[in-house]
Amino acid sequence: MAFALAPLSAPIACAIALVADTLVRAIFGSTSMPSARSVFDLLLAVGTVGVPLAYAGAIVGGVPAYLVFRRLGIIRRWTVWLGAAVIGTVIAVLLQPQLRGDLFSLPFPWWVGAAIGLVVAEVFWRLLAMPNER
């Protein structure tokens, strides 16, 4: 269940951060207040790109890392956090050039990828249900 649900927290965290950033910019005057439609479009775009990307990261990086950690007997919160932060960083670094263009650019620095990875790791850890390690 942890592998099935935890990756969904990545696009959710990203969407919350983007909407919060948009609202803060609007409140403090650097942009106009977004319409409900534009917020919906933003959430749709994040979900469309983020969900497949999150599951790809989980399958390509998360499952192998988990299996290695389990084999080594080091399934701990810090190892799960470290593995997910590395996966998030790699995804951000690989994705960053694709998010720059003439029409729009979306900043997605490595540390944002790492932070989103930490969110996924914590959700994964809680869904894993290892009460002796919480």
Range of the structural domain that residue 69 is part of: 2-133
In this structure, which amino acid lies at residue 126?
Answer: R
Give the chain's domain count: 1
Give me 102's structure tokens: 């003439």
pLDDT tens digits, 76-100: 999 999 999 999 999 988 887 776 6
More confident residue, 98 or 117: 117
Task: Kindly report the average pLDDT of the chain as a whole number.
Answer: 87
Across the chain, which distance is largest between two alpha carbons, in Å?
53
List of residues 6+ apart from 117 with CB closer than 8 A: 10, 84, 85, 86, 87, 88, 89, 91
Mean pLDDT in residue range 101-128 = 85
Residue 133 scores a pLDDT above 60: no
Whether this prediction's pTM lies above 0.85 is answered by no
